[in-house]
């Protein structure tokens, strides 16, 4: 009996709820995580921290540690990328970071309006009310426009909506605003959080990771459900070479299209500890010591 090892502690640092495009409420997600034996999870909805208060309440009830997070869409040159921010302690309340995210949400809303105007110009009767009706939490994006077109019977699938109208080069396409990666990292660090590039295997920015690290990026998401074993090896090596944290998460969006991904990535809790240390010492400070 004395030889029984203590139970392993593991985490999932990349999860979505209904506050962006997931199907679970924060509470449902945390209950699933508790059942699967997770010690800690991070909720990282797209460009919003609105789900965090609910999540913190639910986490307290289940005993699962909730790390407040957000997945911020930004750009590096012409490429769009996703930057995860982990906001330990109270840093998720940082007013500047909230302003930045609110501004992005407003711009996204305006973009949805422009889509609707262009579609109206093409003779398609769609209103912003139709678009907003498909959103659980008030923020709307291009996907909500596609769903509204589907609901109106203009198209027979959201794929068709993108192919005919909403994709770049199609008649209702609207260019989007994206924060620069370097600004995003700076905002996250200023708030007291740490910035970690999400699923780099889905981008072609590997040659620029060192530059992002020099701007204060604190980690690389190594383990992700869409990374191949070869990519995991590669990013683990890169994280080591660059002296940054290696993190991981399933990117579960609930029980929708891809199925339940929660439970597929079990990040050893020591990796979370390392990230916390990094946040404590400040990514910029850690860097200036090199």
Site residues (vs Zn ion, CB under 5 A): 71, 82, 198, 251
> By C-beta, is 82 or 187 nearer to Zn ion?
82
The residue (of 149 and 198) whose beta carbon lies closer to Zn ion is 198
What residue number has its CB nearest to Zn ion? 82
DSSP letter, residue 252: B
Smallest gap from residue 198 Cβ to Zn ion (A): 5
Smallest gap from Cβ 50 to Zn ion, in A, equals: 16
User: Hey, what are 200's tokens?
Assistant: 């780099």
Residue 269 near residue 11, CB atoms below 8 Å: yes
- Identify which of residues 172 and 197 has a Cβ nearer to Zn ion in the complex: 197
Kindly list the distances between the CA atom of residue 263 and the CA atoms of 19, 39, 55, 114, in Å, as whole numbers in the listed order. 21, 12, 18, 39
87's CB contacts (< 8 A; 6+ apart) are 49, 67, 68, 69, 70, 94, 97, 188, 191, 192, 193
Q: Which is nearer to Zn ion, 16 or 118 (CB)?
A: 16
CB of 57 to Zn ion, least distance (A): 23
Residue closer to Zn ion by CB (options 192, 200) is 200
CB of 253 to Zn ion, least distance (A): 7
Cβ atoms 252, 260 nearer than 8 A? yes
Provide, rounded to whole angstroms, the least separation between the CB of residue 285 and Zn ion: 28
| Nearest to Zn ion of 148, 261 (CB atom) | 261
Least distance CB 45 / Zn ion (angstroms)? 8
182: Cα within 13 Å, side-chain hemisphere: 6
Q: Taking the CA of residue 187 as centre, how many other CA atoms within 13 Å lie in the half-sphere pointing to its CB?
A: 23
Strands 79-86 and 40-46 come out as: unpaired
- Least distance between Zn ion and beta carbon 84 (Å): 8
Residue 8 CB, nearest approach to Zn ion (Å):
24
Nearer to Zn ion, 202 or 242 (CB): 202
Q: Cα–Cα distance between 25 and 276 in angstroms, integer?
A: 26
Three-state SS at 31? helix
Tell me the C-alpha distance between 273 and 224, whole Å.
19
CB-CB contact of 17 with 31 (8 Å): no
Q: What angle do CA 280, 234, 271 make, to 5 degrees?
A: 30
Q: Which two tokens stand for residue 46?
A: 């797209």
Q: Nearer to Zn ion by C-beta: 85 or 198?
A: 198
């Amino acid at each position: 009996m004395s030889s029984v090892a203590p139970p392993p502690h593991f985490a999932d640092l990349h999860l979505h709820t209904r506050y962006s495009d997931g199907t679970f409420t924060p509470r449902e997600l945390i209950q699933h995580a508790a059942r699967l034996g997770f010690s800690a999870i991070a909720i990282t909805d797209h460009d919003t921290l609105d789900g965090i208060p609910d999540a913190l309440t639910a986490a307290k009830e289940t005993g699962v540690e909730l790390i407040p997070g957000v997945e911020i869409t930004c750009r590096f040159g012409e490429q769009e990328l996703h930057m995860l921010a982990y906001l330990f302690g109270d840093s998720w309340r940082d007013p500047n970071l909230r302003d930045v995210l609110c501004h992005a949400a407003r711009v996204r809303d305006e973009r949805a309006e422009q889509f609707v105007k262009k579609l109206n110009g093409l003779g398609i009767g769609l209103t912003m009310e139709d678009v907003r009706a498909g959103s659980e939490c008030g923020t709307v994006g291009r996907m909500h426009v596609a769903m509204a077109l589907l609901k109106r019977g203009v198209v027979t699938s959201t794929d068709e909506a993108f192919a005919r109208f909403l994709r770049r080069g199609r008649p209702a396409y609207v260019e989007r605003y994206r924060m620069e990666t370097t600004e995003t990292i700076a905002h996250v660090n200023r708030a007291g959080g740490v910035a970690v590039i999400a699923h780099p295997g889905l981008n072609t920015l590997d040659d620029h990771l060192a530059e992002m690290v020099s701007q204060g990026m604190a980690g690389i998401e190594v383990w992700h459900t869409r990374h191949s074993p070869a990519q995991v090896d590669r990013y683990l090596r890169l994280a080591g070479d660059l002296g940054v944290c290696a993190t991981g998460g399933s990117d579960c969006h609930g029980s929708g299209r891809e199925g339940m991904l929660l439970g597929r990535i079990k990040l050893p809790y020591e990796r979370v500890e390392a990230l916390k240390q990094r946040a404590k010492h400040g990514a910029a400070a850690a860097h200036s010591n090199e």
